[in-house]
Structure 1
Amino acid sequence: MSSLKFGTSGLRGLVTDLVGWPSYAYASAFFRSVSTDDGPRMVVIGRDLRDSSLGIAATVACAAAASGFEAIDCGALPTPALALEAMRRGAYAVMVTGSHIPEDRNGLKFYRPDGEITKDDEIAILAALGDVTVVGEMPTSEPATSEPDAIERYHRRYSDAFSPEILRGLRIAVYQQSSVARDLLTDLLARFGASVTPIGRSDKFVPIDTEAHRLEDIAFIREVMASGDYDALVTTDGDADRPLVADGAGRIVRGDVLGLITARYLSIAAVVVPVTAGSALEQSGGFGRVARTKVGSPFVIAGMEQAKAAGAGTVAGFEANGGFLLGSDITIDGRILPALPTRDAMLPILATLAAARAAGAKLADLITSLDAGEMASDRLPNTPSEQSSAFLARLGVEIFRAEFLQPIGSSRTVDQQDGIRIGLDGGRSIHFRASGNAPELRCYAQAKTARDAQDLVQWGLTAAAAAMAEQVERS
Structure 2
Amino acid sequence: MPPKFGTSGLRGLVSDLTDGLCAGYVRAFLQVTPHSGQLMIGRDLRPSSERIAAAVAAAAAAEGLTPVDCGALPTPALALAAMEAGAPSVMVTGSHIPADRNGLKFYTANGEITKADEAAILRVYAGETDCPPVEAVEDPEAVPSYRRRYLSYLGRSALSGLRIGVYEHSSVARDLLSETLRFLGAETVSLGRSETFIPVDTEAVDTATRDMLAGWAAEHGLTAIVSTDGDADRPLMADAAGRVIPGDVLGVLTASLIGADTVVTPVSSNTMIELSGRFTRVVRTKIGSPYVIAAMQSAPKSARVAGFEANGGFLLGFAAEGRGGLIAPLATRDAFLPILLPLAECVRRSVGLADLVAALPARATASDRLTGVETEKSLALVELLSTEPEARQVFFDGNGPEAAIDKTDGLRVTFQSGNILHLRPSGNAPELRCYAEAEDTETAAELVQKTLEVAREAIG
**TM-score higher than 0.5:** yes
Higher mean C-alpha deviation, range 355-364 or range 227-236:
355-364
Deviates more, 1:155-164 or 1:193-202: 193-202
Contact 2:9 2:105 in 1 (8 A): yes
Deviates more, 1:5-14 or 1:153-162: 5-14
Gaps of 5+ in 2: none
1:263-282 alignment runs, 5 A limit: 263-282=255-274
Query: What is the match of residue 156 of structure 2?
Result: 164
Listed as ranges, the matches of 1:244-283 within 5 Å are: 244-283=236-275
User: What is aligned with 1:21?
Assistant: 20
> Is 1:445 matched with 2:441?
no
Partner of residue 401 from structure 2, selected from 407, 410, 433: 410
Aligned to 1:173: 165
1:402 Cα deviation from its structure 2 partner: 8.1
Query: Conserved in 2, the CA contact under 8 Å of 1:257 and 1:372?
Result: no
The answer (yes or no) to whether the contact 2:262–2:305 under 8 Å persists in 1 is yes
In 1, Cα distance between the equivalents of 2:186 and 2:368?
36
Aligned partner of 2:144 in structure 1 is: 152
Per-residue deviation, residues 71-107 of structure 1 (Å, max 9, x unmatched): 1111111110110011111100001111112222211
Point out the more displaced range, 216-225 or 460-469.
460-469
Structure 1 pair 388/61, CA: closer, same or farther in 2 (3 Å)?
Answer: closer
Tell me, yes or no, if structure 1 residue 424 matches structure 2 residue 420. no
Corresponding residue of 1:225:
217
Tell me how large the CA RMSD over aligned residues is. Answer: 2.4
Q: What amino acid maps onto 1:11 in structure 2?
A: L
* Separation of aligned partners in 2, 1:377 and 1:246: 16
**Is the CA contact (8 Å cut-off) linking 2:362 and 2:440 kept in structure 1?**
no
Q: What's the % identity of the aligned pairs? A: 49
Structure 2 residue 95 is the aligned partner of structure 1 residue 99: yes
Q: Which residue of 1 aligns with 2:294?
A: 302
Does the CA contact (< 8 Å) of 2:21 and 2:128 recur in 1? Answer: no
Matched, 1:235 2:231: no
Q: How many angstroms does 1:434 deviate by? A: 2.4
> Matched residue of 1:126: which SS?
helix
CA separation of 1:175 and 1:134: change in aligned 2, threshold 3 A: closer
Report the CA distance between 1:177 and its aligned residue.
2.1
| Partner residue of 1:66 out of 41, 56, 62 | 62
Residue 264 of structure 1 contacts residue 285 of structure 1 at CA under 8 Å; is this kept in 2? no
- The equivalent residue for 1:44 is 40
Give every structure 1 segment of 4 or more consecutive aligned residues whose post-TM-superposition deviation is greater than 6 Å.
Answer: 465-469
Give the partner amino acid of 1:412. Answer: A
**Which amino acid in structure 2 is aligned with residue 23 of structure 1?**
C
1:295 to 1:73, Cα distance in 2 relative to 1, 3 A: same
The separation in 2 between residues aligned to 1:458 and 1:207, in whole angstroms, is 20
Q: Pick closer, same or farther for the CA change 1:379–1:208 going to 2, 3 Å.
A: closer
Q: Give the C-alpha shift of residue 11 in structure 1.
A: 1.2
Q: Structure 1's 120 and 148: CA in aligned 2 closer, same or farther, altered over 3 A?
A: same
Q: TM-score, normalised by structure 1?
A: 0.90
Match of 2:4 in 1: 5
Q: 3-state SS of the aligned residue for 1:226?
A: helix
Aligned partners of 1:146 and 1:250: how far apart in 2?
A: 39
Matched residue, 1:341 = 331
Opposite residue 436 of structure 1, the aligned amino acid is: G
> Following TM superposition, by how much is the alpha carbon of 1:198 offset from its aligned partner in structure 2, in angstroms?
2.3
Query: Structure 1 159/390 Cα, relative in aligned 2: closer, same or farther at 3 Å?
Result: same
Question: Matched residues in 1 for 2:414 and 2:10: separation?
Answer: 33
Residues 307, 315 of structure 1: 8 Å contact kept: yes
Q: 1:119, 1:352 → 2: CA distance?
A: 32
- Could you tell which deviates more after superposition, 457-466 or 237-246? 457-466
In 1, the alpha carbon distance for the partners of 2:392 and 2:17 equals: 46
Does the 8 A contact of 2:154 with 2:324 survive in 1?
Answer: no
For residue 188 of structure 1, what is the aligned residue in structure 2? 180
**Contact 2:253–2:342, Cα closer than 8 Å, also in 1:** yes
1:211, 1:330 → 2: CA distance?
27
1:340-379 alignment, distance < 5 Å: 340-379=330-369
Corresponding position: 1:204 with 2:196: yes
Compute the displacement of 1:110 (Å).
0.5
Tell me the alpha carbon deviations over residues 214-247 of structure 1, each in whole angstroms, 9 at most, x when there is no partner: 4443333222111252110111111111111111
Instruction: Give structure 1 stretches of 5+ with no counterpart.
Output: 470-475
Contact 2:112 2:332 in 1 (8 A): yes
Superposed displacement of residue 30, structure 1: 1.5
Report the CA distance between 1:355 and its aligned residue: 2.2
Question: Offset at 1:298?
Answer: 0.3
Deviation, 1:437, is 3.6
Using the alignment, how far apart are the partners of 1:42 and 1:453 within structure 2?
48
Alpha-carbon distance in 2 for matches of 1:56, 1:114: 24
Higher RCO (CA < 8 A, seq sep 6+)? 2
User: Which range is displaced more, 434-443 or 369-378?
Assistant: 434-443
Match of 2:308 in 1: 318
The alignment partner of 1:18 has SS state of coil
Aligned length: 459
How far, CA to CA, are the matches of 1:408 and 1:51 in structure 2? 44
**Rounded Cα–Cα distance in structure 2 between residues aligned with 1:204 and 1:467:** 35
Distance 1:265 1:458 in 2: 34
